[in-house]
Structure 1
Amino acid sequence: MTHIPIPSRVAIVTGGSGGIGRAVAERLARDGVAVLVHYSGSADKAKEIVESIAAGGGQATAFGGDVADADAMAAMFRHATDAFGGIDVVAHTAGIMPLAPIAQMDLDTFDRIQRTNVRGTFVVNQLAARQLRPGGAIINFSTSVTRLQMPTYGPYAASKGAVEAMTLILARELRGRDITVNAVAPGPTATPLFFEGKTEQVINHIASLNPMERLGTPDDIAEVTAFLAGPGRWVNGQVLYANGGAA
Protein backbone atom coordinates (compact mmCIF):
# COMPACT_ATOMS: atom_id res chain seq x y z
CA MET A 1 0.00 0.00 0.00
CA THR A 2 1.40 3.39 -1.02
CA HIS A 3 1.72 5.88 1.82
CA ILE A 4 0.54 9.36 0.89
CA PRO A 5 2.12 11.95 3.19
CA ILE A 6 -0.05 14.57 4.87
CA PRO A 7 0.96 17.92 3.34
CA SER A 8 2.09 20.77 5.57
CA ARG A 9 -0.14 23.27 3.72
CA VAL A 10 -3.30 22.86 1.68
CA ALA A 11 -4.92 25.28 -0.77
CA ILE A 12 -8.24 25.55 -2.54
CA VAL A 13 -7.98 27.40 -5.85
CA THR A 14 -11.38 28.32 -7.22
CA GLY A 15 -11.51 28.78 -10.95
CA GLY A 16 -8.45 26.55 -11.00
CA SER A 17 -9.07 25.33 -14.53
CA GLY A 18 -8.90 28.89 -15.95
CA GLY A 19 -5.85 30.81 -17.13
CA ILE A 20 -4.89 32.59 -13.90
CA GLY A 21 -6.35 29.85 -11.71
CA ARG A 22 -4.25 27.17 -13.36
CA ALA A 23 -1.09 29.21 -12.99
CA VAL A 24 -1.88 29.79 -9.31
CA ALA A 25 -2.57 26.10 -8.67
CA GLU A 26 0.64 25.01 -10.36
CA ARG A 27 2.69 27.74 -8.64
CA LEU A 28 1.43 26.77 -5.19
CA ALA A 29 2.10 23.12 -5.94
CA ARG A 30 5.73 23.99 -6.72
CA ASP A 31 5.92 25.40 -3.19
CA GLY A 32 4.87 22.01 -1.84
CA VAL A 33 1.25 23.00 -1.20
CA ALA A 34 -1.41 20.35 -1.82
CA VAL A 35 -4.05 21.85 -4.08
CA LEU A 36 -7.74 21.36 -4.68
CA VAL A 37 -8.40 22.55 -8.22
CA HIS A 38 -11.96 23.85 -8.40
CA TYR A 39 -13.76 24.06 -11.73
CA SER A 40 -17.19 25.11 -12.89
CA GLY A 41 -17.58 23.58 -16.33
CA SER A 42 -14.12 22.35 -17.34
CA ALA A 43 -13.74 18.94 -15.68
CA ASP A 44 -11.29 17.72 -18.32
CA LYS A 45 -9.04 20.76 -17.86
CA ALA A 46 -9.11 20.34 -14.09
CA LYS A 47 -8.19 16.67 -14.42
CA GLU A 48 -5.31 17.61 -16.70
CA ILE A 49 -4.00 20.10 -14.13
CA VAL A 50 -4.26 17.55 -11.32
CA GLU A 51 -2.33 15.04 -13.43
CA SER A 52 0.30 17.66 -14.28
CA ILE A 53 0.81 18.52 -10.60
CA ALA A 54 1.02 14.83 -9.69
CA ALA A 55 3.56 14.23 -12.46
CA GLY A 56 5.72 16.93 -10.88
CA GLY A 57 5.62 15.18 -7.52
CA GLY A 58 2.82 17.29 -6.00
CA GLN A 59 -0.56 16.45 -4.53
CA ALA A 60 -3.80 17.64 -6.08
CA THR A 61 -7.46 16.81 -6.45
CA ALA A 62 -10.31 18.35 -8.43
CA PHE A 63 -13.81 19.36 -7.45
CA GLY A 64 -16.60 20.94 -9.51
CA GLY A 65 -19.36 23.28 -8.48
CA ASP A 66 -21.00 26.68 -8.67
CA VAL A 67 -19.16 29.13 -6.39
CA ALA A 68 -22.43 30.87 -5.56
CA ASP A 69 -24.04 27.61 -4.38
CA ALA A 70 -23.45 27.32 -0.63
CA ASP A 71 -24.09 23.58 -0.52
CA ALA A 72 -21.71 22.86 -3.40
CA MET A 73 -18.96 24.96 -1.85
CA ALA A 74 -19.44 23.37 1.58
CA ALA A 75 -18.99 20.00 -0.12
CA MET A 76 -15.81 21.30 -1.78
CA PHE A 77 -14.35 22.37 1.57
CA ARG A 78 -15.23 18.95 3.04
CA HIS A 79 -13.53 17.26 0.10
CA ALA A 80 -10.33 19.25 0.63
CA THR A 81 -10.31 18.45 4.34
CA ASP A 82 -11.01 14.76 3.76
CA ALA A 83 -8.31 14.54 1.09
CA PHE A 84 -5.54 16.50 2.81
CA GLY A 85 -6.43 16.94 6.48
CA GLY A 86 -7.31 20.65 6.58
CA ILE A 87 -7.20 23.92 4.65
CA ASP A 88 -4.69 26.76 4.91
CA VAL A 89 -5.12 28.86 1.76
CA VAL A 90 -8.08 29.85 -0.37
CA ALA A 91 -7.22 31.60 -3.63
CA HIS A 92 -10.55 32.68 -5.04
CA THR A 93 -9.83 33.34 -8.72
CA ALA A 94 -13.25 32.28 -10.04
CA GLY A 95 -15.26 34.97 -11.77
CA ILE A 96 -17.00 35.99 -14.98
CA MET A 97 -16.55 39.12 -17.12
CA PRO A 98 -19.32 39.85 -19.64
CA LEU A 99 -18.74 43.32 -21.05
CA ALA A 100 -21.18 45.94 -22.30
CA PRO A 101 -21.87 49.63 -21.78
CA ILE A 102 -24.05 50.26 -18.75
CA ALA A 103 -26.81 51.69 -20.96
CA GLN A 104 -26.90 48.50 -23.04
CA MET A 105 -26.34 45.59 -20.64
CA ASP A 106 -29.46 43.56 -19.92
CA LEU A 107 -30.33 43.00 -16.29
CA ASP A 108 -30.13 39.20 -16.51
CA THR A 109 -26.47 39.47 -17.46
CA PHE A 110 -25.88 42.06 -14.74
CA ASP A 111 -27.47 39.75 -12.17
CA ARG A 112 -25.37 36.81 -13.36
CA ILE A 113 -22.16 38.84 -12.91
CA GLN A 114 -23.12 39.86 -9.38
CA ARG A 115 -24.21 36.34 -8.46
CA THR A 116 -20.94 34.76 -9.49
CA ASN A 117 -18.52 37.51 -8.52
CA VAL A 118 -20.16 38.95 -5.40
CA ARG A 119 -22.27 36.14 -3.93
CA GLY A 120 -19.63 33.59 -4.99
CA THR A 121 -16.94 35.52 -3.13
CA PHE A 122 -19.18 35.83 -0.08
CA VAL A 123 -19.96 32.10 0.00
CA VAL A 124 -16.33 31.03 -0.42
CA ASN A 125 -15.00 33.62 2.05
CA GLN A 126 -17.58 32.70 4.67
CA LEU A 127 -16.56 29.04 4.52
CA ALA A 128 -12.87 29.98 4.53
CA ALA A 129 -13.34 32.26 7.55
CA ARG A 130 -14.94 29.40 9.44
CA GLN A 131 -12.50 26.66 8.50
CA LEU A 132 -8.98 27.93 7.73
CA ARG A 133 -6.26 26.93 10.15
CA PRO A 134 -4.07 29.50 11.95
CA GLY A 135 -1.39 30.80 9.62
CA GLY A 136 -3.84 30.69 6.74
CA ALA A 137 -4.48 33.12 3.91
CA ILE A 138 -7.56 34.15 1.95
CA ILE A 139 -6.73 35.72 -1.40
CA ASN A 140 -9.58 37.21 -3.37
CA PHE A 141 -9.40 38.58 -6.89
CA SER A 142 -10.39 42.09 -7.86
CA THR A 143 -9.34 43.99 -10.98
CA SER A 144 -7.28 47.05 -11.88
CA VAL A 145 -10.28 48.24 -13.88
CA THR A 146 -11.60 49.73 -10.64
CA ARG A 147 -8.80 52.29 -11.18
CA LEU A 148 -8.52 52.25 -14.97
CA GLN A 149 -12.27 52.93 -15.37
CA MET A 150 -12.47 51.49 -18.89
CA PRO A 151 -15.79 51.72 -20.76
CA THR A 152 -17.89 48.52 -20.98
CA TYR A 153 -16.40 47.20 -17.71
CA GLY A 154 -18.93 48.96 -15.43
CA PRO A 155 -20.93 45.97 -14.13
CA TYR A 156 -17.79 43.83 -13.77
CA ALA A 157 -15.88 46.59 -11.97
CA ALA A 158 -18.88 47.14 -9.69
CA SER A 159 -18.78 43.49 -8.67
CA LYS A 160 -15.07 43.71 -7.94
CA GLY A 161 -15.55 46.85 -5.87
CA ALA A 162 -17.79 44.72 -3.67
CA VAL A 163 -15.09 42.04 -3.52
CA GLU A 164 -12.57 44.62 -2.30
CA ALA A 165 -14.96 45.84 0.41
CA MET A 166 -15.55 42.31 1.68
CA THR A 167 -11.83 41.59 1.64
CA LEU A 168 -10.85 44.60 3.73
CA ILE A 169 -13.62 44.08 6.27
CA LEU A 170 -13.05 40.32 6.63
CA ALA A 171 -9.36 40.95 7.36
CA ARG A 172 -10.41 42.97 10.39
CA GLU A 173 -13.14 40.56 11.45
CA LEU A 174 -10.56 37.76 11.70
CA ARG A 175 -8.54 39.60 14.36
CA GLY A 176 -6.72 37.12 16.58
CA ARG A 177 -7.04 34.19 14.15
CA ASP A 178 -3.63 34.60 12.42
CA ILE A 179 -5.35 34.54 9.01
CA THR A 180 -4.55 37.15 6.39
CA VAL A 181 -7.12 38.40 3.89
CA ASN A 182 -6.01 40.27 0.78
CA ALA A 183 -7.08 40.85 -2.79
CA VAL A 184 -5.01 40.76 -5.96
CA ALA A 185 -6.12 43.23 -8.63
CA PRO A 186 -4.62 42.14 -11.96
CA GLY A 187 -4.34 44.47 -14.90
CA PRO A 188 -4.98 43.19 -18.42
CA THR A 189 -3.67 39.63 -18.44
CA ALA A 190 -3.13 37.31 -21.38
CA THR A 191 -5.87 34.75 -20.74
CA PRO A 192 -8.59 33.37 -23.03
CA LEU A 193 -11.13 35.41 -21.03
CA PHE A 194 -9.23 38.62 -21.80
CA PHE A 195 -8.74 37.92 -25.53
CA GLU A 196 -12.38 37.01 -26.12
CA GLY A 197 -14.09 39.50 -28.42
CA LYS A 198 -11.09 41.84 -28.80
CA THR A 199 -9.33 42.77 -32.03
CA GLU A 200 -5.55 42.70 -32.31
CA GLN A 201 -5.55 46.49 -32.47
CA VAL A 202 -7.46 46.76 -29.20
CA ILE A 203 -5.21 44.19 -27.52
CA ASN A 204 -2.06 46.04 -28.59
CA HIS A 205 -3.47 49.35 -27.36
CA ILE A 206 -4.33 47.90 -23.95
CA ALA A 207 -0.89 46.30 -23.69
CA SER A 208 0.74 49.69 -24.33
CA LEU A 209 -1.01 51.42 -21.44
CA ASN A 210 1.45 50.32 -18.76
CA PRO A 211 5.16 51.31 -18.60
CA MET A 212 6.21 47.68 -19.16
CA GLU A 213 4.41 47.84 -22.55
CA ARG A 214 3.06 44.30 -22.42
CA LEU A 215 0.14 42.33 -21.10
CA GLY A 216 0.52 40.58 -17.80
CA THR A 217 0.81 36.81 -17.84
CA PRO A 218 -0.93 34.28 -15.60
CA ASP A 219 2.48 33.49 -14.12
CA ASP A 220 2.93 37.16 -13.15
CA ILE A 221 -0.29 36.98 -11.15
CA ALA A 222 0.53 33.57 -9.70
CA GLU A 223 3.78 34.93 -8.23
CA VAL A 224 1.90 37.65 -6.36
CA THR A 225 -0.63 35.09 -5.13
CA ALA A 226 2.09 32.70 -3.94
CA PHE A 227 3.68 35.54 -1.97
CA LEU A 228 0.41 36.28 -0.19
CA ALA A 229 -0.22 32.56 0.37
CA GLY A 230 3.20 31.99 1.91
CA PRO A 231 5.86 34.47 3.02
CA GLY A 232 3.74 37.63 2.87
CA ARG A 233 2.40 37.32 6.42
CA TRP A 234 2.70 41.03 7.22
CA VAL A 235 0.52 42.02 4.28
CA ASN A 236 -3.07 41.96 5.48
CA GLY A 237 -6.26 43.77 4.54
CA GLN A 238 -4.76 45.11 1.30
CA VAL A 239 -5.50 45.23 -2.41
CA LEU A 240 -2.33 44.53 -4.43
CA TYR A 241 -2.42 45.95 -7.94
CA ALA A 242 -0.50 43.61 -10.23
CA ASN A 243 -0.63 45.52 -13.49
CA GLY A 244 2.87 46.59 -14.56
CA GLY A 245 2.23 50.15 -13.40
CA ALA A 246 -0.86 50.82 -15.50
CA ALA A 247 -2.49 52.80 -12.70
Structure 2
Amino acid sequence: MSPENPDPSPALDLPEVLVIEHETDCPPAVLAEVLEAEGVTLRLVRAHRGEQVPDDLRGVEGLVVLGGGMDADDDSGHPWFPAVRALVRTARDRRVPTLGICLGAQQLALALEGAMGRRAVAEVGILPVVPTAEGREDPLIAALGDDPRVLQWHQDQITSLPPASRLLASGTDGAVQAFVTEDLAWGVQFHPEVTPEVVGRWAETSDLLPEGVTPAQAAAAVAEAEAPRESWRALLAAFARIVRGD
Protein backbone atom coordinates (compact mmCIF):
# COMPACT_ATOMS: atom_id res chain seq x y z
CA MET A 1 0.00 0.00 0.00
CA SER A 2 1.53 3.31 -1.07
CA PRO A 3 1.72 6.41 1.18
CA GLU A 4 -0.72 8.11 -1.17
CA ASN A 5 -3.25 5.29 -0.61
CA PRO A 6 -2.93 4.17 3.01
CA ASP A 7 -4.70 1.09 4.27
CA PRO A 8 -8.25 2.28 5.11
CA SER A 9 -8.51 -0.12 8.05
CA PRO A 10 -5.15 -0.25 9.87
CA ALA A 11 -4.82 -2.56 12.85
CA LEU A 12 -5.55 -0.68 16.03
CA ASP A 13 -3.33 -1.03 19.07
CA LEU A 14 -6.18 -1.48 21.54
CA PRO A 15 -5.68 -1.82 25.29
CA GLU A 16 -6.18 -5.37 26.54
CA VAL A 17 -7.95 -6.70 29.63
CA LEU A 18 -7.15 -10.16 30.93
CA VAL A 19 -10.29 -11.88 32.23
CA ILE A 20 -10.14 -14.98 34.46
CA GLU A 21 -13.16 -17.29 34.18
CA HIS A 22 -13.79 -19.85 36.94
CA GLU A 23 -16.74 -21.76 35.49
CA THR A 24 -18.71 -22.00 32.26
CA ASP A 25 -21.91 -20.68 33.81
CA CYS A 26 -20.18 -17.48 34.97
CA PRO A 27 -18.94 -16.00 31.65
CA PRO A 28 -17.93 -12.41 30.87
CA ALA A 29 -21.38 -11.89 29.28
CA VAL A 30 -22.17 -8.15 29.30
CA LEU A 31 -18.58 -7.34 30.24
CA ALA A 32 -17.45 -8.62 26.84
CA GLU A 33 -19.98 -6.39 25.07
CA VAL A 34 -19.00 -3.32 27.06
CA LEU A 35 -15.26 -3.78 26.56
CA GLU A 36 -15.75 -4.11 22.81
CA ALA A 37 -17.93 -1.01 22.72
CA GLU A 38 -15.30 0.92 24.70
CA GLY A 39 -12.46 -0.09 22.41
CA VAL A 40 -10.83 -2.58 24.79
CA THR A 41 -9.72 -6.08 23.82
CA LEU A 42 -10.71 -9.00 26.04
CA ARG A 43 -8.32 -11.92 26.54
CA LEU A 44 -10.18 -14.73 28.29
CA VAL A 45 -8.46 -17.40 30.37
CA ARG A 46 -10.79 -20.32 31.18
CA ALA A 47 -8.87 -21.51 34.20
CA HIS A 48 -11.49 -24.16 35.01
CA ARG A 49 -10.72 -25.81 31.66
CA GLY A 50 -7.03 -26.06 32.43
CA GLU A 51 -5.93 -22.90 30.63
CA GLN A 52 -2.90 -21.53 32.41
CA VAL A 53 -3.27 -18.42 34.54
CA PRO A 54 -0.40 -16.12 33.50
CA ASP A 55 2.24 -15.28 36.06
CA ASP A 56 2.76 -11.79 34.69
CA LEU A 57 0.77 -9.03 33.04
CA ARG A 58 3.07 -7.95 30.23
CA GLY A 59 1.08 -6.23 27.52
CA VAL A 60 -2.07 -6.11 29.66
CA GLU A 61 -3.72 -2.88 30.81
CA GLY A 62 -6.45 -4.38 33.03
CA LEU A 63 -7.43 -7.49 34.97
CA VAL A 64 -10.90 -8.85 35.75
CA VAL A 65 -11.57 -11.88 37.97
CA LEU A 66 -15.07 -13.27 37.45
CA GLY A 67 -17.41 -15.06 39.83
CA GLY A 68 -18.35 -18.68 40.44
CA GLY A 69 -20.17 -20.95 42.81
CA MET A 70 -17.08 -22.20 44.64
CA ASP A 71 -15.55 -20.96 47.91
CA ALA A 72 -12.80 -18.41 47.28
CA ASP A 73 -10.36 -20.24 49.56
CA ASP A 74 -11.02 -23.77 48.20
CA ASP A 75 -7.56 -24.26 46.73
CA SER A 76 -7.71 -28.06 46.99
CA GLY A 77 -10.77 -28.23 44.76
CA HIS A 78 -9.62 -25.48 42.41
CA PRO A 79 -5.84 -25.66 42.06
CA TRP A 80 -5.59 -22.50 39.92
CA PHE A 81 -6.80 -20.27 42.79
CA PRO A 82 -3.31 -19.54 44.22
CA ALA A 83 -2.16 -18.43 40.77
CA VAL A 84 -5.13 -16.06 40.54
CA ARG A 85 -4.34 -14.51 43.90
CA ALA A 86 -0.68 -14.16 42.88
CA LEU A 87 -1.79 -12.42 39.67
CA VAL A 88 -3.92 -9.99 41.70
CA ARG A 89 -0.85 -9.10 43.74
CA THR A 90 1.19 -8.66 40.55
CA ALA A 91 -1.50 -6.32 39.24
CA ARG A 92 -1.32 -4.32 42.46
CA ASP A 93 2.48 -4.10 42.28
CA ARG A 94 2.46 -3.09 38.60
CA ARG A 95 -0.43 -0.64 39.05
CA VAL A 96 -2.73 -2.52 36.66
CA PRO A 97 -6.42 -1.64 37.22
CA THR A 98 -8.30 -4.67 38.55
CA LEU A 99 -11.94 -5.59 39.01
CA GLY A 100 -13.09 -8.57 41.08
CA ILE A 101 -16.72 -9.68 40.75
CA CYS A 102 -18.39 -11.68 43.57
CA LEU A 103 -16.03 -14.67 43.98
CA GLY A 104 -13.44 -12.50 42.24
CA ALA A 105 -13.93 -9.76 44.84
CA GLN A 106 -13.42 -12.30 47.61
CA GLN A 107 -10.24 -13.56 45.92
CA LEU A 108 -9.05 -9.99 45.58
CA ALA A 109 -9.62 -9.44 49.29
CA LEU A 110 -7.78 -12.65 50.23
CA ALA A 111 -4.88 -11.89 47.89
CA LEU A 112 -4.36 -8.46 49.45
CA GLU A 113 -4.62 -9.56 53.11
CA GLY A 114 -8.33 -9.13 53.71
CA ALA A 115 -10.64 -11.86 55.00
CA MET A 116 -13.89 -13.60 54.12
CA GLY A 117 -16.62 -15.49 55.94
CA ARG A 118 -20.10 -16.84 55.38
CA ARG A 119 -23.50 -15.24 55.76
CA ALA A 120 -26.14 -17.02 57.82
CA VAL A 121 -28.58 -16.58 54.92
CA ALA A 122 -27.69 -16.31 51.24
CA GLU A 123 -28.25 -13.01 49.45
CA VAL A 124 -30.03 -13.66 46.14
CA GLY A 125 -31.95 -11.37 43.81
CA ILE A 126 -31.99 -7.74 42.73
CA LEU A 127 -31.42 -5.86 45.95
CA PRO A 128 -30.44 -2.33 47.04
CA VAL A 129 -26.95 -1.36 48.10
CA VAL A 130 -25.96 1.78 49.95
CA PRO A 131 -22.99 3.78 48.63
CA THR A 132 -20.75 5.46 51.18
CA ALA A 133 -19.81 9.11 50.79
CA GLU A 134 -16.57 7.96 49.15
CA GLY A 135 -18.51 5.54 46.97
CA ARG A 136 -20.61 8.38 45.59
CA GLU A 137 -17.37 9.98 44.39
CA ASP A 138 -15.90 6.76 43.01
CA PRO A 139 -16.15 6.42 39.21
CA LEU A 140 -17.46 2.84 39.29
CA ILE A 141 -19.97 3.10 42.13
CA ALA A 142 -21.16 6.56 41.12
CA ALA A 143 -22.06 5.04 37.74
CA LEU A 144 -24.76 2.98 39.49
CA GLY A 145 -26.78 6.13 40.18
CA ASP A 146 -28.40 7.55 43.29
CA ASP A 147 -30.45 4.51 44.32
CA PRO A 148 -28.51 1.47 43.11
CA ARG A 149 -30.07 -1.97 42.86
CA VAL A 150 -27.80 -4.85 41.92
CA LEU A 151 -27.95 -8.58 41.25
CA GLN A 152 -26.77 -10.61 44.24
CA TRP A 153 -26.09 -14.35 44.24
CA HIS A 154 -23.83 -15.38 47.10
CA GLN A 155 -23.51 -16.65 50.64
CA ASP A 156 -19.78 -16.14 51.19
CA GLN A 157 -18.84 -12.55 51.90
CA ILE A 158 -15.92 -10.26 52.66
CA THR A 159 -15.56 -9.69 56.39
CA SER A 160 -12.38 -7.62 56.51
CA LEU A 161 -11.05 -5.24 53.88
CA PRO A 162 -7.40 -5.36 52.81
CA PRO A 163 -5.06 -2.64 54.07
CA ALA A 164 -5.18 0.64 52.13
CA SER A 165 -8.81 -0.05 51.17
CA ARG A 166 -11.89 2.15 51.25
CA LEU A 167 -15.45 0.90 51.63
CA LEU A 168 -17.54 2.14 48.69
CA ALA A 169 -20.92 0.48 49.31
CA SER A 170 -22.59 -1.76 51.85
CA GLY A 171 -25.76 -3.79 51.96
CA THR A 172 -28.76 -2.68 53.97
CA ASP A 173 -27.41 -4.99 56.68
CA GLY A 174 -24.01 -3.27 56.66
CA ALA A 175 -22.15 -6.06 54.83
CA VAL A 176 -19.38 -5.17 52.37
CA GLN A 177 -20.71 -4.74 48.84
CA ALA A 178 -17.95 -2.75 47.15
CA PHE A 179 -14.47 -1.56 48.01
CA VAL A 180 -11.33 -0.26 46.35
CA THR A 181 -7.75 -0.96 47.37
CA GLU A 182 -5.03 1.61 46.68
CA ASP A 183 -7.44 3.36 44.29
CA LEU A 184 -6.58 0.64 41.79
CA ALA A 185 -8.31 -2.66 42.58
CA TRP A 186 -12.10 -2.72 42.88
CA GLY A 187 -14.12 -5.54 44.39
CA VAL A 188 -17.90 -5.76 43.98
CA GLN A 189 -19.87 -8.48 45.75
CA PHE A 190 -22.66 -8.20 43.18
CA HIS A 191 -22.82 -9.13 39.47
CA PRO A 192 -22.86 -6.22 36.98
CA GLU A 193 -21.97 -8.57 34.09
CA VAL A 194 -25.00 -10.85 34.06
CA THR A 195 -27.73 -11.36 31.47
CA PRO A 196 -31.18 -12.86 32.14
CA GLU A 197 -30.00 -16.05 30.44
CA VAL A 198 -26.99 -16.39 32.74
CA VAL A 199 -29.14 -15.91 35.84
CA GLY A 200 -31.65 -18.44 34.53
CA ARG A 201 -28.88 -21.03 34.25
CA TRP A 202 -27.73 -20.31 37.80
CA ALA A 203 -31.27 -20.74 39.07
CA GLU A 204 -31.52 -24.17 37.49
CA THR A 205 -28.60 -25.59 39.46
CA SER A 206 -27.93 -23.34 42.47
CA ASP A 207 -28.91 -24.38 45.97
CA LEU A 208 -29.11 -20.67 46.88
CA LEU A 209 -32.31 -20.01 44.92
CA PRO A 210 -35.00 -18.87 47.36
CA GLU A 211 -37.83 -21.30 47.95
CA GLY A 212 -40.78 -20.69 45.66
CA VAL A 213 -38.79 -18.88 42.97
CA THR A 214 -38.50 -20.65 39.63
CA PRO A 215 -35.59 -20.29 37.18
CA ALA A 216 -37.93 -18.55 34.74
CA GLN A 217 -38.93 -16.04 37.41
CA ALA A 218 -35.31 -15.37 38.34
CA ALA A 219 -34.41 -14.71 34.71
CA ALA A 220 -37.50 -12.56 34.15
CA ALA A 221 -36.64 -10.38 37.16
CA VAL A 222 -33.34 -9.48 35.53
CA ALA A 223 -34.91 -8.98 32.10
CA GLU A 224 -37.47 -6.58 33.56
CA ALA A 225 -34.89 -4.57 35.52
CA GLU A 226 -34.00 -2.34 32.59
CA ALA A 227 -32.79 0.68 34.55
CA PRO A 228 -30.59 -1.34 36.93
CA ARG A 229 -29.08 -3.26 34.01
CA GLU A 230 -28.16 0.01 32.33
CA SER A 231 -26.43 1.12 35.52
CA TRP A 232 -24.49 -2.16 35.65
CA ARG A 233 -23.27 -1.54 32.10
CA ALA A 234 -22.27 1.96 33.17
CA LEU A 235 -20.13 0.55 35.99
CA LEU A 236 -18.34 -1.78 33.57
CA ALA A 237 -17.87 1.05 31.09
CA ALA A 238 -16.34 3.19 33.84
CA PHE A 239 -13.81 0.44 34.50
CA ALA A 240 -13.03 0.17 30.77
CA ARG A 241 -12.32 3.91 30.65
CA ILE A 242 -9.92 3.59 33.57
CA VAL A 243 -8.14 0.82 31.68
CA ARG A 244 -7.92 3.11 28.64
CA GLY A 245 -6.40 5.80 30.84
CA ASP A 246 -9.22 8.28 30.32
TM (normalized to structure 1)? 0.48
How does the TM-score come out when normalised to structure 2?
Answer: 0.48
Q: Decide which structure has greater strand share.
A: 2
Higher share in helix: 1
